[in-house]
């Protein structure tokens, strides 16, 4: 009998830890994710987070001056591989992935301007319909963007990667250095600079390409 009670207690305990946790949130326009947590973005009429997977009771969500930070409590740092947050949001202008976190949106995001930043092995994967996008991928970060952007500014370095081949732009300004890799698409103008071993591939057959290489690296046009 005691054995059965113990089994039931363990099952209930496991169920409790796997339950979803929902939190209402105030307004924010910038997201910072940490600790290998996966964040899925959903456009909505309200701001809230639904937490599932591991460590649901250890997820900290802090909102200060419009900057929303999602991370684990310090004793669970970098242990969010199986922790998932569905973030319902009204407006977002900045996505910032850190410490192996991953930010994804299945829906097309369409603010006028958006900034995408990934570092420390973290990643971002989004579809866009914007006038301007600013991309920064450094220290092993990866950014993937698809869709449309009239203008683009991108910085990739220290082993960062930018997969922007499927993001169709008119004008792109890109700087890559120190082992960074980038693929971009532009129809009108590209200004590209590579330094110290970076690589850029240019798609879209742009009318004007201004390219500069310093201390090694490659800039390749792919038609």
Q: What is the dihedral of CA 174, 178, 181, 185, to 10 degrees?
A: 10
Distance CA 223, CA 218 (A): 16
Distance CA 137, CA 193 (A): 15
CATH 2.160.20.120 location in the chain: 93-223
Q: What is the CATH number of domain 93-223?
A: 2.160.20.120
Per residue of the chain (223 residues), give pLDDT as tens: 434 334 434 443 444 445 899 999 999 999 999 999 999 999 999 999 999 999 999 999 999 999 999 999 999 999 999 999 999 999 999 999 999 999 999 999 999 999 999 999 999 999 999 999 999 999 999 999 999 999 999 999 999 999 999 999 999 999 999 999 999 999 999 999 999 999 999 999 999 999 999 998 999 999 7
**How many of the other CB atoms lie within 10 Å of CB of 22?**
11
pLDDT on residue 223: 78
Distance CA 195, CA 190 (A): 16
pTM of the model as a whole: 0.91
Residue-level length of the chain: 223
DSSP string, 24-44: E----SEEEE-TT-EEEEEE-
pLDDT tens for 114-132 read 999 999 999 999 999 999 9
Rounded (5°) CA angle 202-176-215: 110
């Amino acid at each position: 009998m005691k054995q059965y009670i113990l089994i039931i207690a363990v099952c209930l305990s496991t169920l409790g830890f796997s339950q979803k946790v929902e939190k209402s949130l105030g307004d924010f326009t910038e997201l910072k994710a940490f600790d290998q947590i996966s964040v899925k973005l959903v456009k909505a009429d309200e701001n809230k987070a639904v937490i599932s997977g591991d460590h649901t009771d250890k997820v900290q969500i802090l909102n200060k001056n419009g900057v929303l930070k999602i991370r684990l409590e310090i004793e669970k740092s970098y242990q969010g591989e199986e922790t998932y947050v569905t973030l319902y949001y009204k407006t977002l202008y900045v996505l910032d992935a850190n410490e192996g976190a991953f930010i994804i949106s299945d829906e097309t995001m369409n603010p006028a301007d958006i900034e995408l930043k990934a570092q420390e092995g973290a990643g971002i994967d989004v579809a866009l319909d914007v006038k301007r996008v600013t991309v920064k991928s450094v220290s092993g970060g990866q950014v993937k963007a698809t869709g449309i952007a009239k203008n683009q500014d991108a910085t990739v370095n220290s082993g960062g990667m930018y997969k922007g081949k499927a993001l169709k732009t008119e004008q792109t300004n890109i700087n890559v250095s120190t082992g960074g890799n980038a693929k971009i698409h532009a129809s009108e103008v590209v200004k590209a600079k590579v330094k110290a071993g970076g690589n850029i591939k240019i798609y879209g057959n742009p009318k004007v390409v201004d390219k500069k290489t310093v201390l090694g690296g490659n800039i390749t046009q792919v038609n």
